[in-house]
A = this chain, B = another copy of it.
Amino acid sequence: MEINSIIHGDCIEELKKIPDDSIDLIFADPPYNMQLKNALYRPNNTKVDGVNDEWDKFASFSEYDDFCVLWLKECKRILKNTGSIWVIGSYHNIFRVGNIMLNLGFWILNDITWHKTNPMPNFMGTRFTNATETLLWCSKGEQFKKYTFNHKMMKKYNGGKQMTSVWKIGLCTGEERIKGEDGKKAHSTQKPEELLKRLILSTSKQGDIILDPFFGTGTTGAAAKKLKRSYIGIEKEENYISLAKKRIDAIENFFPEADWKEDER
């Protein structure tokens, strides 16, 4: 198991090769199964460049569920008893994912709300602006109580008050958003590094091994390197891998707060 590397291959097949009880932290950003059917236009008639990737297409709930059971089962197997797992999703998929995680025996520690400061409005006025995504933070099971949680660090990070389960963070835009050679966004769902920074700081220690089975353009790897953790990524698309490698290699500066003292254990 080579650390600080990106494995090219199918998520489930590659997860199967990872030894039992060997991973400290897992962050998973699986396909959401958005089920988009029609094009959406803004009031000024421009078309919304939505998620239309092949990797987000599933034939049915049942097919999506089967897929999630397989990768989540492997995640549980390879997670250390002191480890924990984060899974991000939207209302399209998080209720299916959450249900499966409970059935597999994961123990929910928090449901974190990523409150987006700049979400896309609802142009048609048919719903409330969908302004959140949900992160499920779970331990391996109810009986495993020694998961890492740097409570004091996060209290300091939050200006002296205990951090809550609502995280107000902007979308990944501007300089941070990885562009392809055509100048357009390379990945349709790149996450902001601040999101990864918070969960890595709070629920892992320096030197820990962080696994991301849906690595994409490597936000998890970038944040891990800046915070002095190791990472293992699994990604199916070579294009994403090459962009991720370039991105992570370019990192020389660390988050200035990376030397914050971790909670004693």
Q: A127–B102 contact, CB under 8 A? A: no
Q: A127–B115 contact, CB under 8 A? A: no
**Which residues of B have CB within 8 Å of A188?**
none
**Contacts A91-B111, A111-B91, A115-B115 hold; do A128 and B98 have CB atoms under 8 A apart?**
no
- Is A113 at the interface (CB under 8 A from chain B)? yes
A177-200, CB < 8 A from B:
none
**Which residues of B have CB within 8 Å of A132?**
111, 113, 165-166
- Is A12 at the interface (CB under 8 A from chain B)? no
Whole-angstrom distance between the Cβ of A64 and the nearest chain B Cβ? 10
**Which residues of B have CB within 8 Å of A125?**
149, 151-152, 155, 162
Q: B151–A126 contact, CB under 8 A? A: yes
Instruction: Specify which of B108, B119, B154, B155 is in contact with A91 (CB 8 Å cutoff).
Output: B108
Q: B130–A110 contact, CB under 8 A? A: yes
Interface string of A137-168 (1 = CB under 8 A from B): 10000000000010110110000001111100
Number of copies: 2
- Is A38 at the interface (CB under 8 A from chain B)? no
Number of A positions contacting B (CB below 8 A):
45
Q: A91–B110 contact, CB under 8 A? A: yes
- Return the chain B residue nearest A115 by Cβ: B166
Interface string of A104-135 (1 = CB under 8 A from B): 00001111110100010110011111111010
Interface of A is mostly: mixed
**Contacts A111-B91, A121-B162, A134-B111 hold; do A61 and B126 have CB atoms under 8 A apart?**
no
- Is A95 at the interface (CB under 8 A from chain B)? yes
- Is A173 at the interface (CB under 8 A from chain B)? no
- Is A5 at the interface (CB under 8 A from chain B)? no
Cα–Cα, bound, A95→B104 (Å)? 13
- Is A239 at the interface (CB under 8 A from chain B)? no
**Contacts A96-B102, A162-B122 hold; do A113 and B113 have CB atoms under 8 A apart?**
yes
**Which residues of B have CB within 8 Å of A92?**
108
What are 10 A-B interface contacts by the 8 Å CB criterion? A95-B98, A95-B108, A98-B99, A115-B115, A126-B151, A127-B149, A128-B164, A128-B165, A129-B165, A131-B164
| Chain A residues proximal to chain B, CB less than 8 Å | 61, 90-92, 94-99, 101-103, 108-113, 115, 119, 121-122, 125-132, 134, 136-137, 149, 151-152, 154-155, 162-166, 202
